[in-house]
Amino acid sequence: MAFAWIERMFPVNEKKEMHVETIRGLACIALVSYHVVGSQPTSGMSLPADDWLSILQQCLADVRMPLFTFVSGYVFVAIARPGTEWYQLLLKKVRRLLLPLVSVTTLFWLVRHMLGYQQTPLYLAYFWPYEHFWFLQSTFLLMTSLLVLNALCADRNGALTLRQDVRNASLIGLVGAAVYISSGMVPVHVFSVFHAVHLAPFFMAGHVLGVMGRTTFAQLPRTARPVAASVLLACIVLGTTQAFGLLSIDSAELRRGLSLLAGLGAAFALFALRPRNRVLSWIGDKSYAIYLFHVFFTAATQMVWSRMFPGAEIHLVYLPALVAGLLGPILVQYLILRSPVASWLLLGMRRPVFRKSDPASA
């Protein structure tokens, strides 16, 4: 009953595929959980590296962001529709990704600055990896690379076949995988280039699945589900054995190769399983707002907790911070969407158009 009331207030876009949003909901929970715990002992809950909660987060290290990226590629439209041009698609991505990158990064930087944190200069935060906002930079580079390559391969009328789009995406993904595994490039951190190379196989594989394999995966027989579940379990076991120190891989190339296989295997397995859960799909439907704003709420919850319950068991803050990191951004999105200007500035929605008679346009 309570969730039904919440769902009416924050409805789900019924046009989206429920299993895709369910998977994205899982990715959101994994991402928020990771930032609640912290990537190192000096962040998040400030847990030591050998703490059981820190180790559990490392079990999903090869799945968490690859899955998020795979879904982004799956829903990405790379082919210009009739009446549109390639640059129009690119400008849409500029609005959707780079505008929130600037606005939300600025807001987050200012909040941390007022709290006395030492951090990189603000102008560098827009061009270098800064906190979790690096994902916007790398995703924009991946989308742009595919759009530009498709534009170069299109005919004089701008037409491009789905097969050509798949070929181009596969090429970018394979090159990214080869460079990442072989460490064939010096880490380039400007605009998160290095992260884009790492995530290229996942984004492009998701895009290929969305373009060519959507119907095939929807028609997989039930007998394929045990196989997919086994693959998913194997990927999780691989990450678990490494996180607990039960498996040591000396070769860096082999380690990176297994990391790519684990991420791709888990993503394809989940899409083959096609899980459907109303709560998870409701969370996944709000994934962009959760990604942008969850750190505000996880950090605030931990600060309030430490002041209200000094000396309390630190693990007890995990669940409240996780819930706040999921529900807080959903409430923020609800408030933002009530303002066309805020929606454009903070979420990259369509630019508001004011009528001449509107006083706000004066």
Looking at the predicted structure, is the pLDDT value of residue 11 above 90?
Answer: no
Cβ neighbors of 197 (< 8 A, separation 6 or more) are 176, 179, 180, 185
Looking at the predicted structure, is the pLDDT value of residue 361 above 50?
Answer: no
Does residue 200 sit within a domain? yes
Looking at the predicted structure, is the pLDDT value of residue 317 above 70?
Answer: yes
Confidence of residue 276 (pLDDT cuts 50, 70, 90): very high
Looking at the predicted structure, is the pLDDT value of residue 237 above 70?
Answer: yes
Does residue 137 sit within a domain? yes
Does residue 237 sit within a domain? yes
Does residue 270 sit within a domain? yes
Does residue 358 sit within a domain? no
Give the lowest-confidence range in 196-205, 311-320, 349-358.
349-358
CA 22/CA 67 separation, integer angstroms: 12
Looking at the predicted structure, is the pLDDT value of residue 232 above 70?
Answer: yes
pLDDT recorded at residue 2: 52
Confidence of residue 297 (pLDDT cuts 50, 70, 90): very high
Please count the other Cβ atoms lying within 10 Å of the Cβ belonging to residue 92.
Answer: 16
**Count of domains for the chain:** 1
**Average pLDDT over every residue of 209-228:** 88
Instruction: HSE, CB side, 13 Å, CA atoms: give it for residue 193.
Output: 7
Give the lowest-confidence range in 149-153, 300-304, 351-355.
351-355
Does residue 235 sit within a domain? yes
Q: Which residue did the predictor score with more confidence, 238 or 361?
A: 238
CA 306/CA 309 separation, integer angstroms: 5
Cβ neighbors of 72 (< 8 A, separation 6 or more) are 139, 203, 206
Does residue 60 sit within a domain? yes
Give the lowest-confidence range in 94-103, 148-157, 181-190, 230-239.
181-190
* Beta carbons of 330 and 32 less than 8 angstroms apart: no
What is the average pLDDT value for the chain, to the nearest integer? 90
Percentage of the residues of the chain whose pLDDT score is greater than 70: 93
In angstroms, the Cα distances linking 35 to 212, 229, 311 are 34, 27, 21
Looking at the predicted structure, is the pLDDT value of residue 356 above 60?
Answer: no
Does residue 362 sit within a domain? no
pLDDT recorded at residue 357: 47
Looking at the predicted structure, is the pLDDT value of residue 66 above 70?
Answer: yes
Residue type at 280 in one-letter notation: L
Give the lowest-confidence range in 7-21, 66-80, 111-125, 303-317.
7-21
Looking at the predicted structure, is the pLDDT value of residue 331 above 50?
Answer: yes
pLDDT recorded at residue 186: 67
**Average pLDDT over every residue of 272-277:** 94
Q: Which residue did the predictor score with more confidence, 319 or 245?
A: 319
Please count the other Cβ atoms lying within 10 Å of the Cβ belonging to residue 84.
Answer: 13
pLDDT recorded at residue 13: 72
Count helices and strands (H / E) in the chain: 17, 0
pLDDT recorded at residue 248: 84
Domain with 178, as residue range(s), is: 2-350
Confidence of residue 360 (pLDDT cuts 50, 70, 90): very low
